[in-house]
Amino acid sequence: MMWRNWTIVSEFVLVSFSALSTELQALLFLLFLIIYLVTLMGNVLIILVTTVDSALQSPMYFFLRNLSFLEIGFNLVIVPKMLGTLIIQDTAISFLGCATQMYFFFFFGAAECCLLATMAYDRFVAICDPLRYPVIMGRKSCAQLAAASWFSGFPVATVQTTWIFSFPFCGPNKVNHFFCDSPPVIALVCADTSLFELEALTATVLFILFPFLLILGSYVRILSTIFRMPSAEGKRKAFSTCSSHLLVVSLFYSTAILTYFRPRSNTSPENKKLLSLSYTVVTPMLNPIIYSLRNSEVKAALKRIIHRTLGLQKL
C-alpha cells in the first residue's frame, strides 16, 4: 500500500498506435476486431468439440481444451482495450485498471508457458513410452498437471505486479504500448528499479526459458524415437500427433523470446509493439486453426457434430 503515499499519477495513457493516421487506425480496428472474433469463436469451438465428442477425450485434447481457455482469457485482457484506443481514442486507463491488466497478462502468459511444456510432456510419454502412457497420463495425473500449469501464473503475476505498482510514479504517465506491459510501465517509475529488473529477468528465465528448454528436450527425445521407428507409416502417425503442438510452440516462443530477451538498445518501441501483437493477438487466433486444420481427429469430430446438428434440425 506504500504507493498510495507516493503516487502522483492517478491514471496512465496508452500511446498504442496514436502515431498512425486516423484512417489507418480505423483499418487496424477492423483487422483486429475480425482477428478477435475469429479467436473467440475458434477457441470456443475447440472447447465445445473436445468436450462433446467422445472420441476426443484423451489427455492431448484435455490439455488442448485448457489451452483454448487460456487463449480466450489472454485475448480478453488485452484486445478489447486496444480496440477502444483505436476506434474511440479511449487511451486512458486507471491506475488500478493498468495493474489489473498487467496482473492477468502475467498470469495467463506464465500459465500458457507451463501448459505448453505439459503438452510436450504428454506427447513425449505417448510416443516414447506408449505402453505406460495410460498409467502415467491417467485422469488424475492430467488434472494435477493442468492445475499446476494454471497455478504457476499466480506467483509470478502477484510478485511482479505488486512490486511494480509499489514504486512511485511521479512524472510522465504515457505508456508507450497498446497494453500495460512491465517494461514500458517500469520506464515511468521515478526510483531505482535495478533490483526489480534482476528479479524480473529471473522470473522470465523460470517461466519462459525453462519451460522452453523442457519442450526442446522433450522433442529431441520424441524425434529420436520417431527416427528409430521401422515403418514409414508409424513415423508419419507419430509425427502428426505432435506437429500441431510444435508449430504452436514455435510461433509463441519465437516472438516471446525476441521480445523479452533482446537487449533494449536493439529493440525500438514500435518493433516491440509488432512483436507483442504476434503472441497476444495473432497466435491465439492461429492456435485453433492449426489444431483443427492439421488434426484429422478434430476435423472428423467437427463433421460428426455438424451432421448430428443438421439431422436434429431436419427432425
How does pLDDT run across 85-126, given as a tens digit for each residue?
888 888 899 999 999 999 999 999 999 999 999 999 999 999
- Sort residue 82 into left (φ over 0), alpha (ψ -120 to 50) or beta: alpha
pLDDT over threshold 80, residue 289: yes
**Torsion angle of C-alpha atoms 158, 159, 161, 164, degrees rounded to 10:** 160
State the Cα–Cα distance between residues 253 and 49, nearest whole angstrom.
27
Mean pLDDT of 291-306: 78
pLDDT of residue 311: 66
Q: What is the CA radius of gyration of the chain?
A: 21
pLDDT tens profile 161-217: 999 999 988 878 899 888 998 888 998 998 888 898 888 888 888 888 889 899 999
**Quick one: pLDDT band at residue 247, thresholds 50, 70, 90?**
confident
Domains and CATH numbers, the chain: 11-310 (1.20.1070.10)
Q: What is the CA 214 to chain-centroid distance, rounded?
A: 17
- Higher pLDDT residue, 12 or 295? 12
Mean pLDDT of 149-169: 91
pLDDT over threshold 60, residue 60: yes
pLDDT tens profile 227-236: 888 888 778 8
Q: From residue 97, how far is each of 11, 279, 282 by CA, in Å?
A: 9, 22, 24
Strand, helix or coil at 310?
helix
**pLDDT > 70: what percent of the chain?**
92
pLDDT over threshold 50, residue 315: no
pLDDT of residue 3: 45
Whether the Cβ atoms of residue 129 and residue 160 lie closer than 8 Å to each other? no
The three-state DSSP-derived secondary structure of 286-305 is HHHHHHHHCCHHHHHHHHHH
Mean pLDDT of 130-155: 93
pLDDT over threshold 80, residue 34: yes
pLDDT over threshold 50, residue 148: yes
pLDDT over threshold 80, residue 42: yes
pLDDT of residue 274: 79
Mean of all residue pLDDT scores within the chain: 85
Q: In the structure grid, which three cell numbers stand for residue 4, read together?
A: 498510495
